[in-house]
Amino acid sequence: MAAKEDLYSKILPRRLRQSRPGSMKSSSNLDVLLSMGFSRHRALKSLVSTGGRSVQAACDWLFSHVDDPFLDDPLPREFVLYLRPSGPLQNQLSHFWQQSRVTCGKNKAHNIFPHITLCQFFMCVDPKVEALCEALQTTVQQWRGRFPRPLPLELYTSSNFIGLFVEEQVADVLRQFAADFATEAVRKTEVKVEPHKKQLHLTLAYNFPSDHLSSLEKLAKGIEVKLGCDWLAVLFSRDIRFANHETLRVMYPYMPQNDDELELVPGDFIFTSSMDQTSTSEGWVHGTSLATGLSGLLPENYVSLADESDTWVFHGVSATVPLPYSIISGPVSPQQVLRFSGSHTRQPKRTVFVCRHGERMDVVFGKHWLTLCSDSKGRYVRSNLNMPPSLPLWGGQRDYDMDAPITVFGSTQARLVGEALLESNTMIDFVYCSPSLRCVQTAQNILKGLQQDGKLKVRVEPGLFEWTKWVSGNSMPAWIPPTDLAAANFSVDTAYRPLIPANKLTVSESYENYMSRSYQVTKDILSDCKNTGNNVLIVAHASSLEACTRQLQGRSPQNAKDFIQVVRKIPYLGFCACEEQGETGMWQLVDPPILPLTHGPNHSFDWKETLLQE
């Protein structure tokens, strides 16, 4: 007990600072874990530590922490309530974050995503976290429709701080919301929450060298603070043991050579404290793994500095309040968080997103992949886990040799992109795709991730097909007609009439013709969608990211050789965003609202050949 009391004495008096996402689900997940034989304490700890995403995530956490010396300690977590921006303003802030980091390097503001702090950090034990989330939900419902529109922000700079401050009268309204949440938290959980009493603001940069001030201030003045923005009220938590530690990301794997060393797995995070480094050898640091809870020595050059909030957990709040002013889907789970809708001082800018399709079967399994999944009677038989369980319209109707589907991983890639768009609160008004089956399947899975499957209809546009010079053989692929796709449960618009019919495409078109076709069909799509929606998603080919956006920006096409080099660098689910600049008719590439998706090749594994070798 003495050791535990020492730990609490070090933790509790600290000045508390700031946090990030995960979410506590209903008690059904807890019931499942209890029925599996886990103790109530461990089950609750795993759910809170993973944000209640799923039973599987909780189980994985428990199994990886089986040797964690603190697994059975009743340590509370630190929580905080933030307002996070989304929509057009968030895109501008993300651009500022990236540009300031590139121009001036990392400063203290980069440790945490853009936010307005509504309360100080506070402690909550695991058994009360679900009730804490319910307290926020209740407060959200009570405040429906009462938030200022828009939220006025004003730029402020000093020698070592740059931020956006909330106008004081409006800030008082937000403080009252935080106070009501604090009251509800005490009533439901007996947890004391202290609303933020200082000036409410969004920090852009602080604790930076003085010679960086002018560059940072110039970038900050480029942020259009009057852009439309939805503000999300969200709870984050962090492990109290590591609140004052440095956060490192594991870059390379390392297997321990001695008993006091720590195994490193790429993607894991390591917490280090300067107090623990006094007796370590040069080039080595002492740290604790987020993934396992284990501590030990590790080579310093195998890790890199990460952002403090990278290890925080998001806690979503379940609710059913109708839009606006209420609830939208949370970033890492289908649960929900508060939304304050800010009025737009002008019409939002139109954006076209262009995305490459997911991983294709014929690339993974070779051009003769069909022979690997056909039995003697011509029926489809899955012979690898990365092959889909079934294919639409299998049989004589299909031209799979010329029109390959995507793999299981390709579907997963696409859903991840859809989930990321949902997390960033990006609204998609129209979806167009190439007639290639791989593009239709990718679009469908993006809609699933967006939770718009069956709500938005995909418009299949042959004019978005790739450069026909790359088509093998002397004829175009026999694509599945939209009516047949709809019959196979694809969410396609059967009433849509293509801008360029399939029979107008010919094999071996010139490069100039392909670029002209892509530009024209993109312009026609944007013209058709004008005044009825702002955001258009095009799902097509690697070449489409360049072909559909370059001339839209007023830039001339590259020569064919340079164009091919660009296309080769675009991965599956490569994603770009092109934004209209006012009423000028000009468009410009901007930072996409989602993070890039990095993935690599994986060879086929045959256990017999590998494990039974002599």
* Residues taking part in catalysis: 356-357, 541
Quickly list DSSP for 73-90. Answer: S---EEEEEEEEEETHHH
Q: What are phi and psi of 105, to 5 degrees?
A: 80, 180
C-beta separation of 523 from 499 below 8 A: no
Residue 173, judged by CB atoms within 10 A of its CB (0-12, 13-18, 19+), counts as middle
389 preceded by cis ω (within 30°)?
no
Cα–Cα distance, 20 to 237 (Å, whole number): 6
d(C-alpha 230, C-alpha 415), whole Å: 24
DSSP states along 140-205: HHHTTT-S-SS--EEEEE-SSEEEEEEPHHHHHHHHHHHHHHHHHHHHHH-----B--S--EEEEE
Task: Give the helix ranges, DSSP H, for 195-346.
Answer: 213-221
Distance of CA 148 to the CA centre of its chain: 28
Q: Tell which residue, 259, 305, 296, has the closest CA to residue 276.
A: 296
Q: What separation, in Å, do the N-terminal and C-terminal C-alpha atoms of the chain show? A: 55
Binding residues for substrate: 438, 469
- What is d(CA 611, CA 128) in angstroms, rounded to the nearest whole number? 49
Give 332's DSSP letter: S
Q: Which amino acid is at 395?
A: G
Q: What number of CA atoms fall less than 13 Å from residue 369's CA on the CB side?
A: 21
Q: What contacts 138, CB < 8 A, 6 or more positions away?
A: 184, 188
